[in-house]
Amino acid sequence: MPRRGQGREHRPVPELITGLAAKVVDGEIRLPRFQRDFVWSRQQVLDLLDSIAQSYPIGSFLLWESADSARLASDRAIAGLPVQKVEDGAEVAYLLDGCQRLSTICGALYWQARGDADSFWNLAYNLETERFLHRHDLDDPPPSQVPLRLLAKPSDFFNRIKDLPGPLHARASALFDRFAGYEVAVVTLHATPYGEIGRIFERVNTRGTPLTTVELVRAATWTADFDLLDEIDALRAVLAGKHYGQIDRMLLLRSIAAAVGLGFSKESVEGLALSDHAAVRAAVTQTEAAARLAVDFLTTEIGTPTADALPYVNQLAVVIEIFRRVPRPTGAQFREIRSWFWSTALTGYFEGWNARKMAADLAAIGRFAQGARTLGVAAPAAGTGLWTAQQYRRDTARTKALALMLAAAGPRDLRTECGSMSAGPWHWPTSFSSTISSRRTGS
């Protein structure tokens, strides 16, 4: 059986760098919202331009052509330059790899000399030293310096250099020819689903920051009045007031995907890109309310002061979904949720939380919300062997679980607690020993 993706050819095609820049300004190539802001230094800008002038390779570019129904939100400007609006139904390609490089070319060729004298794109080429430079004024440069923005206007460029001495004229003409004829390799992905875009980008973009699932879904769900990344960060800010602000965005996205009805897995999260936007918005609102309840439960009922104290951070995603489905648990349901927490924390259930477990957890939550007495999961029985299975380190799940367990005993101080433990057999704190026992007996 052929592997998924086999048979699709993604061959590099040579294309003029000036042509790519023109397509960006014309709106034919768009920069998705998941692309980062321009972060290059002024020296990096000069180095790239010098590479082109020297005919050095600058790397390939990766584009993604998508159907109109799979449009990504994109920026209306690049390098501070306005980008033309594309009509509905027009063919559009999204730049996945090469944002900093193509932004530099666009800025250098299409900058308008008005307003900002210290702009990154106030660039010129010194024909005497054969070096690129940043100018810091809006005055007309001396004849020996050619503004790079003229390279996009052949008539203006050659009109400027026509009176230069022979050697300088020759250098200016060579500069124009190098830029006008410089080709790069462009790979275009056709008919590639959302789920593969992130994986492809991560593998080819070894020199930059990997594209995250959060950023991809953000671009797919963005509208003028809704930014998924902003919504998630706003939720993190709310939880920060409860000392739970340092939560990975992907974890909250798992909870949002579960609230939409997709699940906790990465594939479910990627499915948000094609989900109804109204459903995603509603899920964000529900997740925020449930996250508040979940954190209150964990801090008061379990005693986890921060997210870092959780044995397994993915426990939070499940607890959020539990409280989304059951916002007002009964006393018996509270006991069962506590039992579930300690059982999964002490038995290593979340080590290797795979798609099968995720689906089983979601189904168990659904049954629990419909009146089932337990949050049954296939966790191994808790026993004393779990304490000898691995070394104690501060950042391990078992050590965190032990710390929470000891704290639940309400020690007066470390010496007093150790003394009581050394005096005779020590027992698990009452706050969770009953719940573990009831889970073991099924009562």
Low-confidence winner among 73-77, 144-148, 425-429 (lowest mean pLDDT)? 425-429
In a domain, 235, yes or no: yes
What is the C-alpha to C-alpha distance for residues 227 and 221, in angstroms, rounded to an integer? 7
Same domain, 161 and 306: no
Structure tokens at 53: 């002038």
What is the C-alpha to C-alpha distance for residues 440 and 267, in angstroms, rounded to an integer? 33
> Of the residues 142, 165, 197, which one is the last residue of a structural domain?
197
Same domain, 217 and 94: no
Helices (H), 90-153: 99-110
Same domain, 229 and 129: no
CA distances from 254 to 103, 157, 259, 295, 374 (A): 33, 54, 9, 16, 23
In a domain, 206, yes or no: no
Identify the DSSP state of 175: H
Most confident listed range (156-170, 196-210, 371-385, 421-435): 156-170
Residue of 110, 59, 66 lying closest to 84 (CA atoms) = 110
What is the C-alpha to C-alpha distance for residues 96 and 206, in angstroms, rounded to an integer? 13
What is the C-alpha to C-alpha distance for residues 246 and 343, in angstroms, rounded to an integer? 25
> Of the residues 172, 197, 222, which one is the last residue of a structural domain?
197
**Position with higher pLDDT, 271 vs 203:** 271
The CA R_g of the chain, rounded to the nearest whole Å, is 29
In a domain, 207, yes or no: no
In a domain, 202, yes or no: no
Q: Report the pLDDT value the prediction gives residue 422, as an integer from 0 to 100.
A: 40
Backbone angles phi, psi at 94, to 5 degrees: -105, 135
One DSSP character per residue, 391-404 reads ---TTSHHHHHHHH
Backbone angles phi, psi at 199, to 5 degrees: -70, -40
Q: Report the pLDDT value the prediction gives residue 159, as an integer from 0 to 100.
A: 96
Most confident listed range (88-102, 118-132, 418-432): 118-132
Same domain, 363 and 429: yes
Q: Tell me if 105 sits within 8 A of 130, measured CB to CB.
A: no
Same domain, 365 and 400: yes
CB count in 10 Å sphere of residue 153: 14
- Mean per-residue pLDDT for 40-60? 94
Same domain, 271 and 400: yes
**Position with higher pLDDT, 82 vs 334:** 334
Residue of 23, 22, 4, 28 lying closest to 195 (CA atoms) = 4
- 3-state DSSP assignment of residue 96: strand
Q: Which domain holds residue 419?
A: 212-441
Residue of 302, 365, 372 lying closest to 338 (CA atoms) = 302
Angle between helices 249-260 and 228-240 (to 10 degrees): 110
Biggest CA–CA distance in the chain, Å, is 100
Amino acid at 103: S
Most confident listed range (163-172, 232-241, 261-270): 163-172
Report the domain count for the chain.
Answer: 2
Residue of 247, 229, 245 lying closest to 284 (CA atoms) = 229
* Residue at token pair 């949002």: 256
Identify the DSSP state of 69: G
pLDDT, averaged across the chain: 81
Buried b / exposed e along 191-214 (16+ C-beta atoms within 10 A):
ebebbebbebbeebbeeeeebbbb
Q: Tell me if 211 sits within 8 A of 198, measured CB to CB.
A: yes
What is the C-alpha to C-alpha distance for residues 26 and 20, in angstroms, rounded to an integer? 10
The residues pairing with 187 across neighbouring beta strands, listed in sequence order, are 62
Geometric angle at alpha carbon 338, from 333 and 339, rounded to 5°: 95
Which H helix or E strand runs over 145? strand 145-147
Buried b / exposed e along 59-88 (16+ C-beta atoms within 10 A):
eebbbbebeeebbbbbeeebbbbebeeeee
Same domain, 192 and 221: no
Most confident listed range (90-94, 166-170, 338-342): 166-170
Q: Tell me if 227 sits within 8 A of 218, measured CB to CB.
A: yes
CA distances from 126 to 50, 107, 159, 172 (A): 12, 18, 17, 9
Same domain, 47 and 93: yes
Same domain, 50 and 24: yes
Q: Tell me if 164 sits within 8 A of 150, measured CB to CB.
A: no
CB count in 10 Å sphere of residue 22: 17
Q: Report the pLDDT value the prediction gives residue 401, as an integer from 0 to 100.
A: 77
In a domain, 204, yes or no: no
Q: Report the pLDDT value the prediction gives residue 79, as an integer from 0 to 100.
A: 59
In a domain, 205, yes or no: no
Q: Report the pLDDT value the prediction gives residue 420, as an integer from 0 to 100.
A: 43
* Residue at token pair 């959020």: 320
Condensed to tens digits (0 to 9), the pLDDT of residues 375-419 reads 876 666 655 555 555 666 666 777 777 777 777 666 666 555 544
Same domain, 45 and 91: yes
Same domain, 21 and 145: yes
Same domain, 224 and 366: yes
> Of the residues 197, 229, 253, which one is the last residue of a structural domain?
197
What is the C-alpha to C-alpha distance for residues 208 and 123, in angstroms, rounded to an integer? 25
In a domain, 362, yes or no: yes
Instruction: Give just the sign of the alpha carbon dihedral 201, 202, 204, 205.
Output: positive
In a domain, 1, yes or no: no
Instruction: Give just the sign of the alpha carbon dihedral 92, 97, 100, 105.
Output: negative
Q: Report the pLDDT value the prediction gives residue 225, as an integer from 0 to 100.
A: 76
